[in-house]
A and B are shown apart, each in its own frame.
Chain A
Amino acid sequence: MNNSTPLGTFFRTAIAVICALTILFPVIWMVSMMFKPADVMFARPTQFFFSPTLANFDYVIAQGFLSNLVTSLLLGVISTAMVVVIGTPAAYAFARFEMKKKDDLFLFILASRMAPPVCLVIPFYLIYAKIGLLDTFVGLSLAYMTFNLSFYVWVLRSFCRDLPVELEEAAILEGWSKPQVFWRVVFPLLRNGIVATSVLCFIFAWNEFLFAFMLGGSSVQTLPVAIPKLITAQGVRWGEVAVVGVVSLAPVLAVVVLLQRHIVRGLTMGAVKG
């Protein structure tokens, strides 16, 4: 195939555009719905040009969705931060230290991630009900942490294994202690891996519905749990659903775009050697 003919270039570009549009169309549709007045929402034929309104935003704000947004953000950030603080040394230990039954223990940790979440949510509910963590922010962030921790440790262990152990030995020979070596040599070198993995943890916490619904109750409502509020007796408020949907998408996109460099490097590093 000749790559340089104008016709070939045209066709390939056309195919790329069609693919992109197919994938992006639902998003574009959602964004346009966000600004559509109720009367043209489902007008036939579809109106692509209309006078935009912010009425949908007003309703969403009036319904208290801002506090749901804050809850979601805080839950994501705090549970992910806990995962990083606890999981990084754990992953390092699994990668480096000799211990009895290490592989069995590792598999056991991973097992919690393999079970369908539905199986875990009931014991979680019963335990939380007993110790009073039901409907609390702390309870939900702990649940997300335990859930993400196994995944995080699992992925980050392969990053740790890829680090040459000699870098640490060189520092030990100069008299550094193990914790010093970990924080000042290993941690900086793991940065890409930590960023890539923790972004995935954040996205998981951000999108999660089942645990938030069961354990958060009415006092800790994340965005995904709050969306059903828009299914009213008068019908589904599609414009408002679109607003919440786009807002839910925004942080994920922002994180991925901002940290793109780290994520791509981190994911490829882990993927190749994993």
Chain B
Amino acid sequence: MATVEFQSVSKRYQPGTPMAVIDLNLVCQEGEMLALLGPSGCGKSSTLKMAAGLEELTEGEILFGGVPVSRLPAGQRNIAMVFEDYCLYPNLTIAENIDFPLSVRGYSKAVRKERVDEVLAMLGLTDMADRKVHDLSGGAQQRIAIGRAVVRDPALILFDEPLSHLDGEQKIHLRAEISRLQKSRGVTSILVTHDQTEATAMADRIAIMRGGVLQQVAPPSRLYERPANIFVANFIGEPPMNLFPASVSAVVGHIDVPILAATIAVGDERRRMLEARQTRDLVVGLRPEHLIVETVSADRSVNAIIRYREPRGDADSLVLEILNRSGDTLVAELPGPTLFRAGDGVHLRIPAERMHLFDADTEFNLELDK
């Protein structure tokens, strides 16, 4: 078991091409499950491959338990990897696939049998041990791949989009199983995924990347409550956060929100913060579940019309068009099922305390250190 530390790691695949990873500083604690999350091309897979030793570092150093490993070949780093498309050897049986890492490393027959039997029992695959792997379902294949990863008790397991090819039910099942195995064995793990639900469900902390640059590292709840910048705010949460421009108002302690044609009071603390930072142009973020939708007009409410309703059983997503000149839309999420229908006129209110305030120029959250 070990911590994994990335120190100023950069990666460029070919001279003249853009950097895949730029000056990455990141620590994965011992026994932790750290998720690398981001859209495709954000550098998360490159980061994983550098940790694995499958790609060389252009700059920087990676430390396992304080020891530099960037010059160490992949085979000597004591890591295991679980791949997106399972990557089992089709010509071997289930037991042989799990045994593979042990046999390659020359463990004794007795040890191999004991370890393989233990892993088979743990995965509930003892009865199927001698079957070939190619006609098994994706979920079953991925479980075997996970078995192959843990059988050797590696210092670090790297999960490269392990659930991407699975359907809904298998996904949820395997998500729980990976978490359970990872926690019970206490093995340090890095999970690469583009699926925020997966990352939120499995990871202790999530590192969000974009264009090779680390945006924020935090536990899932912190990412949701206090996103570091507009990108993270937009990326985390489903449906994504509403973002609209605003500016500091001439009225002290207020901000002007053009799309609502409203001036909103922000409170004393925020007023001081805005004054201290001398910010003028803002972007306001509001999560769909925090938007208040009412059928009766109230003080400071805004008229809107429901353009589209997406019923999701326990919740309804509403796409709302604000009745102003430009036809701006906001998304609201209400505990469902609601009685709203497309075409209904409603009144919106924005709870000031739920707003996230970002600097329009730097895109940073103005209240990050709170």
How far apart are the CA atoms of A197 and B85 in the complex, in Å?
Answer: 27
List residues 73-95 of chain B with CB under 8 A from any CB of chain A: 73-77, 79-81, 83-85, 87, 89-91
**Interface residue count for B (Cβ, 8 Å)?**
24
Given A166-B84, A173-B52, A176-B104, 5 other A-B residues pairs in contact with their CB atoms under 8 A: A173-B53, A174-B75, A175-B73, A175-B105, A185-B89
Q: Which residue of A lies closest to B87 (CB)?
A: A166
How far, in whole Å, are A161 and B362 apart by their CA atoms in the complex?
A: 43
State which residues 167-211 of A face B: CB under 8 Å. Answer: 167, 169-176, 185, 188-189
- Chain B residues positioned under 8 Å from A166 (CB to CB): 83-85, 87, 160
Judge if B345 is at the interface, Cβ distance under 8 Å: no
Given contact pairs A166-B85, A167-B87, A169-B83, A174 touches B54 in the complex (Cβ within 8 A): no
Q: Give the interface SS of chain B, mostly helix, strand, loop or mixed.
A: loop
Q: Residues of B contacting A172 with CB < 8 Å?
A: 53-54, 74-75
Q: Which residues of B contact A6 (CB under 8 A)?
A: none
Q: Which of these, B52, B73, B76, B77, contacts A169 with CB under 8 Å?
A: B52
Contact partners of B87 in chain A: CB under 8 A? 164, 166-167, 169-170
Nearest first, the 5 A-B pairs at minimum CB distance are A175-B75, A166-B83, A166-B87, A174-B104, A174-B101
**Nearest Cβ on chain A to B159's Cβ, whole angstroms:** 13
Q: B100 interface residue, CB < 8 Å from A?
A: yes
Q: Indicate if the CB atoms of A173 and B85 lie closer than 8 Å.
A: no
Cβ of A167: which chain B residues have Cβ within 8 Å of it?
87, 89
16 contacts between A and B (CB under 8 A): A164-B85, A166-B83, A169-B54, A169-B74, A169-B81, A169-B83, A170-B83, A171-B104, A173-B52, A173-B54, A173-B75, A173-B81, A174-B101, A174-B105, A175-B73, A188-B91
* Distance to closest chain B CB from A161 (angstroms): 15
Shortest CB distance B44–A (Å): 16
Which chain A positions have C-beta within 8 A of B75? 172-176
Kindly list chain A residues whose C-beta atoms are within 8 Å of the C-beta of B81.
169-170, 173
- Tell whether, in the assembled complex, residue B80 and residue A173 are in contact, meaning their CB atoms are under 8 Å apart: yes
**Min distance, Cβ A61 to any Cβ of chain B, angstroms:** 46
A163 to B107, CA, bound (A): 29
Q: Please indicate the chain B residues that have their CB under 8 angstroms from the CB of A170 in the complex.
A: 81, 83, 87
Are B83 and A173 in touch, CB under 8 angstroms? no
Which residues 119-154 in B have Cβ within 8 Å of A in the complex? none
Chain A: minimal CB distance from B176 (Å): 24
Note all chain B residues with C-beta closer than 8 A to A175.
73-76, 104-105
B1-21, CB under 8 A of A: which get 1 and which 0? 000000000000010000000
Task: Tell me, in angstroms, the Cα distance from A172 to B77 when the chains sit together.
Answer: 11
Among the interface residues A167, A170, A171, A188, which one has the most CB atoms of the partner chain B within 10 A? A170
* Nearest-Cβ distance from residue A31 to partner chain B, whole angstroms: 41
Mask, B289-313, CB within 8 Å of A = 1, is 0000000000000000000000000
Q: Which residues of A sit under 8 angstroms from B101, Cβ to Cβ?
A: 174
Return chain B residues, CB-CB under 8 Å to A169: 52, 54, 74, 81, 83, 87
A173 and B79 contact, CB distance less than 8 A? yes
Expressed in whole angstroms, the Cα–Cα distance for A173 and B154 within the complex equals 11
A-side contacts of B91, CB under 8 Å: 188
Question: What's the Cα separation between A173 and B75 when bound, in Å?
Answer: 5
CB-CB nearest in chain A for B83: A166
B76 to chain A: closest residue by CB: A175
Cα(A164)–Cα(B80), bound, Å: 17
How far does the Cβ of B86 sit from chain A's closest Cβ, in whole Å? 9
Give the chain A neighbours of B105 by CB distance below 8 A: 174-175
CB distance from A269 to the nearest CB of B (A): 14
Cα separation A132 to B75 with both chains bound (whole Å): 49
Bound form: Cα–Cα A175–B160 in Å: 19
- A181 to B: closest C-beta gap in Å: 11
> Smallest CB–CB gap between B165 and chain A, Å?
12
Alpha-carbon distance between A176 and B106 when the two chains are bound, in angstroms: 12
Render A95-111 as a binary contact track against B, CB cut-off 8 A, 1 for contact: 00010000000000000
In Å, the complex CA distance between A164 and B87 comes to: 8
| CB closest chain-B residue, reference A172 | B74
Do A173 and B74 touch (CB < 8 A)? yes
Q: Give the Cβ gap from A103 to chain B, nearest Cβ, in Å.
A: 14
Closest Cβ of chain A: how far from B324's Cβ, in Å?
52
Tell me the smallest distance from the CB of B310 to a CB of chain A, in Å.
Answer: 37
* Cα distance, A188 to B92, chains bound together (Å): 12
Q: How far is the CA of A219 from the CA of B14 in the complex (A)?
A: 54
* Central interface residue in B76, B85, B89, by most chain A CB within 10 Å: B89
Q: How far apart sit A166 and B48, CA to CA, in the bound complex (Å)? A: 13
Could you tell me which residues of chain A, from 119 to 168, have a CB within 8 Å of some CB in chain B? 164, 166-167
Q: Provide the bound-state CA to CA distance between A172 and B75, in Å.
A: 6
How far does the alpha carbon of A258 sit from the alpha carbon of B100 in the complex, in Å? 33
- Residues of chain B with a CB closer than 8 A to A174's CB: 75, 100-101, 104-105
Closest residue of B by beta carbon distance from A170: B87
Residues from 45 to 79 in B contacting A, C-beta threshold 8 Å = 52-54, 73-77, 79
Rounded to whole angstroms, the CA-CA distance of A176 and B53 in the bound complex is 13
A98 to B55, CA, bound (A): 13
Closest to B86 in A: A166
Interface flags for B259-293 (1: CB within 8 Å of A; 0: not) read 00000000000000000000000000000000000
